[in-house]
Amino acid sequence: MSSSGHLAIAHGIFGTANLDADYFTFDILLHLATLVAVLIVYHKDIFPLIPAFFRLIGKVFRGKFRLSEYDDREKMLVYLILATLPLVAAVFLNDKVEALGQYVKVVGGILILNGVVLFLSDRIGKGDRELSDMKPGNALTVGLCQLCAILPGLSRSGSTITGGRLCGFSREFAVKFSFILSIPAILGANIFKIPDLMENPIPAADLPAYGLGMLAAAVTGILAMKLLAYVSKKSNFRVFSLYCVAVGLLAVLFG
């Protein structure tokens, strides 16, 4: 887990960490491909939020601000907005955090921490709360966990799932909320990078490679989300925890 951590390690292994222009663009496209994967896997939950957004706006303009006046999808939108708010701080921290991605050993250490966090999420987090039981404070807690995940190697999904479990969410709902929450996070992060992306257009000769990379990211993203959803129903997150610790140790030892 942790796409940014894996990308940083891959750049270190293949000696591409200093080729900022081309690989900066490539990383952005890979993250957008994972966004497509989220839309595909959770389309039944995501697309109904579009008309719900306009209903929510209408109610706000009519002076209806209490959650009790909103249906479940409108509440989901409110919670997604609240959980996204802490990411505003990431705008001021982004440059310093991205610099950490150049040090494979540091990323490996954070991956180990990520594995520990995932392990604790199942040990500490108990509960079966769903959307109907969610509170605004829960959304902010998950959002703060997402802010911590701007560190390369600290999984965004792992951090937000942990936050959800600590709030008493069921595994299934914690996973679903985590991935739907990734949509504004990914879009917001890439909107800020559009000026840099325009300065580094994709060379025509590299288009096939970029396309294959995006396809691979989308397909593996879908498979990973399906696997995580299955595991959240049938078992625990221990296997993901062990994987992160193993990859992190290799990065620390050989990075």
pLDDT for res 19: 44
Exposed/middle/buried for residue 193 (C-beta within 10 Å: 0-12, 13-18, 19+): middle
With bands split at pLDDT 50, 70 and 90, how would you rate the model's confidence at 21?
very low
How far apart are the two ends of the chain, measured CA to CA in Å?
Answer: 18
pLDDT for res 104: 75
Measure the CA–CA gap between 209 and 162, rounded to whole angstroms.
35
Residue appearing with tokens 């990431």: 90
**Tens digit of pLDDT for each residue in 213-241?**
899 989 999 998 998 888 877 767 777 78
Q: What is the mean pLDDT of the chain?
A: 82
> Are the CB atoms for 169 and 127 separated by under 8 Å?
yes
**Tens digit of pLDDT for each residue in 105-142?**
788 888 888 888 778 777 776 788 999 899 999 999 99
pLDDT: is 197 or 82 the higher one?
A: 82
Answer whether residue 183 shows pLDDT above 90. yes
Answer whether residue 173 shows pLDDT above 60. yes
Write down the pTM of the prediction. Answer: 0.82
